[in-house]
Each structure stands twice: as structure tokens, then as C-alpha cells.
Amino acid sequence: MNASPRTSATELAAGVRRGDWSAVELTRSALARIEALDGELHAFVEVQHRSALAAAAAIDAARQRGEPLGAFAGVPIAYKDNLALTGKRTTAGSRILQGYRAPYTATVLARLEAAGAVLLGSTNLDEFGMGSTTTTSVHGPTRNPYGHHLVPGGSSGGSAVAVAADFCPLAIGSDTGGSVRQPASFCGISGLKPTWGRVSRSGLVAYASSLDCIGALAHDPADLALWLDVVGGPDPADPTTRAAIAAIATQPPLEDLRGLRIGVPWQLNGPGLDDEVAAVAAAAARTASELGAELIECDLPGVEHAVPTYYLLATTEAASNLARYDGVRYGLRREAIGRLDSTTTQTRSSGFGLEVQLRILLGTFASSHEHAARFHARAELARTLLRARFAALFERCDVVLSPTSPIPAFAADAFPDDPLALYLCDALTVPQSLCGLPALSIPGGRSADGRPIGVQWTAPADHEARLLQLAAVFRRHTDHHLHRPLP
């Protein structure tokens, strides 16, 4: 019996435990597919052939000794290049971290390795996670397998492409304002942003600490449920982690959506949407109704301010977090004659890309003594108000439905010299990030020219199980997840 590149992570691990196939066979197959296809797509920054095969061989040896194997035994998994893995390069897509090798392993990766996962390598991203295109990386752009002229979304575009191209069944990303969900939508797969604090951020290169989440991308929502069960929960290395919740993967599946109340806020399902995107979201609502759910047309006032609120808060935190890259402690150093601050200026000017520099400048301005009350403080108030509005909405409904992105995947040159227009593409994903809510993008349909379009489901904090069970019902009753861009 042979595994195919489209076999789910859950099924692959079960097959390794039964002896249907070996971990080494799965790893060699994944590495061969990457070798054959990733030259055009550039999903990976670094493919770790030797360590991956060694990890797979150790799993096979453990099975031969009769030792119990973990939930992800032998499953090839990719991870975003802003997660630390001992001895491996961690660049966050930036020149300023050239030559840096991690002295420790991120908690999420350590827990995956303990569960038997085989880490294939690191995937490409927008520099420091700041972007929606995966084109700002120092390693070059990543291309969407649905069309090489299309962006794969960002900033976890490399991880999304790794799954969409069937290099691996599961990949790890990070989501600060939509960086897992938007690439999932653009690449026709599922992407989960958990509740803030559900998964430890220890070992994640920080962008905006009150917003950063580690998430995952897969074809099968069951793989996302298993992933969250394995990696979620408290971590002494991250004091912001939340208490453990009941396992999700072992919960009985729902047969339909009877009894589920789905909120459809008009602000997230009308203004500014591409016509085809709006049609896909409307079709998802009809399908949910046919499966027994109650649709509730509702209001989410204040959500129209989410984009400016997000970019004020995120850039303020980024300016603080990225201050550590000063040419002294680690990473790139550009010597300059004269004062020490000249070296720092030269290092940061040559080490950071233009988008990162822009966000640092915006954040520094917004948090300055002269302007903090006008910008940063008001943004915090707007976030508090939005949290209250979501809480009120969840008294009436169980989940909220919207598209994931206002538009399908676009060409890399679609927004020349217009960062504000590009920022508006985050209008449907930043509200959940601001409020720390779990959200899941699943395939919802395609445009007339074949570009994937995702629909997004949002739940109250700690209710990831509700989202993943809903996604499983949709998977059984629709066929959007079956389409693949590559043979």
C-alpha cells in the first residue's frame, strides 16, 4: 500500500503506526516532489534533507523496537522561517538576520517533533511577517501554484504553497493580521488562526506581540484539529499562553449544522467586495442553511475602523520589537565611521527592506510623545470597543461568516507604490486579530478564471472546535477542497 501526496497528515501517521509505509518513504517522496517542483514556486527557504531523513529513520527504528509512536509519526511538515529550530537558519525573510542560527527550538516545533513529525524545512514569508504577498522576502518571491503571476498571499505564503502543491499535508505559519488565513484563501486550502495565547509564541520572531499567533495550514480540517491538540496549551516559556482545552480531534463529528446560529454582518459581507467573492460567501451561507443552520443578518458597528486601528497598533509594536536589531547583538552589522548610532543607522537601513522601514517609521511616529494620545491611545480604545461589539454579537450567534479576502489572488504588480490599497486587503482578517478571536478560512469556490476563493468563520475565544467541526461538515457536503493546481 502506498501513500499519495494528497493523503492527509492524520492518515499518514496512522499508516506509519500500522506499518503500511515507513517514515523514510514518506520523507523521500516529499523531498523528491519539492526537488521537482519548488524551483518554480519557491515555497522553501531551506530544505533540510539530511536532518529530515535522520528524523524519519529514527521513527522507523522506534517502531521496529515496538515503541509507541506519536500523533504525527513520520508526517512531513514545513514551518515558516520566523520560527526557531536549534542550529538552523532563522531569517524571518530579512537581510538583517543573515547568518543567524537559532540556539533553541520554538515550542510549537518541539511539540511537533515530540509527536513524531518530520520537519522538512523552512518556508518563505514577507519580511518579518509584514505583508500580504510573500514578495518582500530577501530570498525572493513565492509564486502561487494556481498561476505563477499571482501572489500566494502573505505573509505565510511559503507555507500555503507547500500545502497547496502537496509538498506536505500540513505547514506551520504565523498570523498577525491574516497571514495564515489570506494565503489559505488564495491557495485553495484551509488555514486556522487560533485564539490568541492558545499556542505558545516562544521561538517566534516577534512582529506585534499583542497580535501574533502561530497557526497552521492544511487541506483537511481534521489535520488542523490534531495539530492544535498536539501543540496547544500552557507553556512556561510564554506567560501569555492559555489554559488547556478539551481535545478536538477525538470529538464526535457533526452530521449537519442543525442548531448552529450563523451571524452574517453586512459590514463584512457587502461593501468593497469583489462580485465573485461576494457570490462565493453567499453560496456558503445558502449551503449552511441547507445543512440546518440558522442565518442571522446582523450588525457589527465599528468594524470599518479595524484596518487603521490594526496598522497603528501593529506598527507601534513592530517599532519596539525590531529595535533589538541594532548591529550589536546579532545579525547583520554595517560599520560606520564616527558615533555608535551611525553604525546602527547603517545596519538598519541596509538590513531592513522598504516595507519594514515604512512600518517602523509609522509605528515610531504613532507612539511618539507628541502623537501617542492622538493615535496609539485612540487605536487601543477602538480595539476595546470592537471586542465589546464582537462579544455582543456572539450572544446572538455561534459563529460569524464572511469572505476571507475582499478579492481573489492578484498579480504581484497589482498595487504599485500604493501600500494603503494593499493594506485594505486585510479588512476582513484584522478584526479577529485585534480581538484575539479564533478564525478559520476554508475553500469556498473559485472565480471564473479558476482562482480559489476562501470563506472565513469566526468563533468566540477558545471555540476552535466549533470552527473545525463546521469545516468538516462543509468538507463532506461540498467539493471545493478537491481541486488541486498541480498533478
Question: Is 148 in the same domain as 293?
Answer: no
Question: Is 85 in the same domain as 220?
Answer: yes
Q: Answer whether residue 320 is part of any domain.
A: no
Give the domain range for residue 291.
261-307+375-458
Angle subtended by helix axes 275-290 and 464-477, to nearest 10: 90
Determine whether 179 is an active site residue: yes
Q: Residue 218's closest CA among 179, 169, 175?
A: 169
Q: Residue 242's closest CA among 77, 80, 464, 393?
A: 464
Question: Is 221 in the same domain as 303?
Answer: no
Q: Answer whether residue 216 is part of any domain.
A: yes
Report yes or no: 168 and 174 within 8 Å, Cβ to Cβ: no
Arithmetic mean of pLDDT, 378-385? 98
Question: Is 270 in the same domain as 221?
Answer: no
Q: Answer whether residue 204 is part of any domain.
A: yes
Owner of C-alpha cell 525573510: 93
Total structural domains in the chain?
2
How many helices (H) does the chain have, and how many strands (E)? 15, 11
The pLDDT > 70 percentage for the chain reads: 99
Q: Is the pLDDT of residue 6 over 90?
A: yes
| CA 156, chain centre distance (Å) | 5
Arithmetic mean of pLDDT, 272-276? 96
Question: Is 220 in the same domain as 276?
Answer: no
Q: What DSSP designation does 148 have?
A: T
Question: Is 138 in the same domain as 273?
Answer: no
Question: Is 70 in the same domain as 185?
Answer: yes
Q: Give the pLDDT band of residue 158 (cuts 50, 70, 90).
A: very high
pLDDT confidence of residue 337: 58
Question: Is 124 in the same domain as 269?
Answer: no
Considering the entire predicted model, what is its pTM? 0.97
Determine whether 80 is an active site residue: yes
Question: Is 265 in the same domain as 224?
Answer: no
Q: Give the pLDDT band of residue 20 (cuts 50, 70, 90).
A: very high
DSSP string of 282-349, one letter each residue: HHHHHHHHHTTPEEEEE--TTGGGHHHHHHHHHHHHHHHHGGG-SSSSSS-----SSSHHHHHHHHHH
Last residue of a domain, which of 180, 212, 231?
231
Question: Is 273 in the same domain as 152?
Answer: no
* Helix locations, 125-246, DSSP H: 157-164, 181-187, 221-231
Q: Is the pLDDT of residue 270 over 90?
A: no
The mean pLDDT value of the chain amounts to 96
Give pLDDT tens digits for 318-375. Answer: 999 999 998 887 778 777 656 667 778 888 988 999 999 999 999 999 999 999 999 9
Arithmetic mean of pLDDT, 96-119? 96
Q: Out of 8, 80, 433, 447, pick the active-site residue.
A: 80
pLDDT confidence of residue 31: 98
Q: Answer whether residue 454 is part of any domain.
A: yes
Q: Answer whether residue 99 is part of any domain.
A: yes
Q: Answer whether residue 244 is part of any domain.
A: no
Give pLDDT tens digits for 411-432. Answer: 999 987 788 889 999 999 999 9
Question: Is 43 in the same domain as 161?
Answer: yes
Q: Out of 122, 132, 155, 405, pick the active-site residue.
A: 155
Q: Answer whether residue 395 is part of any domain.
A: yes
Q: Out of 8, 94, 174, 179, pick the active-site residue.
A: 179
Question: Is 198 in the same domain as 299?
Answer: no
Determine whether 193 is an active site residue: no
